[in-house]
């Protein structure tokens, strides 16, 4: 237990020491999205009755920032440790593969939650956002960051070079987060893109999270819960199985 707590503490300390880059930078970029989109779309018809576009947009942006930062935390830490070779200090310890996994994932959850909270509180200054179903918001916040943090661990143990990690960021995470309904409702898309979006677990994370704030969503929060929970389980199971084998870590 002691080793697990230390690895978790180390991973949190690692991003906290560069919080200018890991917390403040996502805040700035998210607020820029908010300023630009909320301004451009101010006169756009209401997506849900009685909900201004900015109030629709903010939960999506908060969740997008949480997903991206949860992924970035575990993936960048692991790939940096592998490239510089200092992962050996963790691998030489009595930590089990489960402790290793949860320490990296929980640090991702903490960073994702911190970024989400900072973005949400800052956005509050622009538009008052209702929080109608706080339990659902919290549940999707935790599940989504576990999902993205796990994806980050998977990418981190697979990648051996920084450009391989950049490929994950640019060709997997970025499309999944941008084509997830953060900026729009699924029903506004052409049929092909709407159907494709229904295969994107990030869409369900954002839609369920938005339900927690607005009490309205594109699909039932229960359906979103099933898909996000199922994705979390499948990714965690796969990652734990690979860590148990020592895949790409213990040659």
Partner 1 sequence: MSAAIEIRGAEKHFGPLHALKAVDLTVEAGEFFALLGPNGAGKTTLINLLAGLSRPDGGSLKVMGYDVARDYRQARRNLGVVPQELVFDPFFTVRETLEIQSGYFGLRRNDDWIDDLLHNLQLSDKAQANMRALSGGMKRRVLIAQALVHRPPVIVLDEPTAGVDVALRQSLWKFIQRLNREGHTILLTTHYLEEAETLCRRVAILRQGQIVADDTTENLLRSSTSGKLEDVFVSLMRDQDVAAEA
Least Å distance, CB 174 to partner 1, is 26
Least Å distance, CB 153 to partner 1, is 18
Contacts of partner 1 in 68-127 (CB under 8 A): 81, 84-86, 88-96
User: 62 in helix, strand or coil?
Assistant: helix
Contacts of partner 1 in 1-20 (CB under 8 A): 1-3, 5-7, 9-10, 13-14, 17-18
Cα 162 to its chain centre, rounded Å, is 20
Residue 4 vs 158, nearer CB to partner 1: 4
- Judged by CB under 8 A, does residue 196 bind partner 1? no
Instruction: Using the Cα atoms of residue 118, residue 120, residue 121 and residue 126 in order, give the sign of their dihedral.
Output: positive
Least Å distance, CB 3 to partner 1, is 5
Distance separating alpha carbons of residues 51 and 93, to the nearest angstrom: 52
Q: CA end-to-end span of the chain, whole Å? A: 26
Residue 88 vs 195, nearer CB to partner 1: 88
Q: Residue 114 belongs to what H/E stretch?
A: helix 97-124
**DSSP structure string for 43-81:** TSPPSSTT--HHHHHHHHHHHHHHHHHHHHHHHHHHHHH
- Judged by CB under 8 A, does residue 246 bind partner 1? yes
Burial of 21 (0-12, 13-18, 19+ CB in 10 A): exposed
What is the Cα Rg of the chain in Å? Answer: 18
Least Å distance, CB 14 to partner 1, is 5
Residue 84 vs 192, nearer CB to partner 1: 84
Residue 16 vs 126, nearer CB to partner 1: 16
Residues of this chain that interact with partner 1 (CB under 8 A) are 1-3, 5-7, 9-10, 13-14, 17-18, 81, 84-86, 88-96, 246, 250-251
């Amino acid at each position: 237990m002691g080793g697990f707590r230390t690895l978790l503490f180390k991973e949190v300390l690692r991003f906290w020491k560069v919080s200018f880059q890991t917390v403040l930078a996502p805040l700035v970029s998210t607020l820029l999205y908010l300023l630009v989109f909320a301004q451009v779309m101010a006169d756009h018809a209401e997506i849900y009755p009685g909900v201004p576009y900015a109030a629709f947009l903010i939960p999506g942006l908060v969740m997008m920032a949480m997903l991206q930062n949860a992924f970035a935390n575990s993936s960048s830490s692991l790939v940096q440790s592998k490239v510089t070779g200092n992962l050996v200090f963790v691998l030489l310890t009595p930590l089990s593969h489960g402790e290793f996994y949860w320490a990296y994932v929980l640090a991702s959850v903490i960073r994702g939650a911190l970024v989400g909270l900072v973005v949400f509180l800052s956005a509050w200054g622009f538009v008052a956002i209702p929080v109608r179903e706080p339990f659902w918001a919290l549940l999707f916040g935790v599940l989504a960051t576990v999902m993205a943090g796990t994806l980050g661990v998977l990418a981190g143990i697979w990648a051996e070079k920084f450009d391989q990690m950049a490929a994950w960021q640019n060709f997997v995470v970025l499309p999944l987060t941008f084509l997830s309904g953060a900026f729009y409702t699924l029903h506004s898309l052409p049929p092909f893109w709407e159907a494709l979006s229904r295969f994107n677990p990030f869409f369900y994370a954002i839609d369920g999270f938005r339900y927690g704030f607005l009490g309205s969503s594109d699909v039932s929060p229960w359906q979103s819960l099933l898909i996000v929970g199922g994705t979390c389980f499948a990714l965690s199971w796969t990652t734990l199985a690979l860590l148990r084998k020592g895949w790409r870590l213990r040659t």
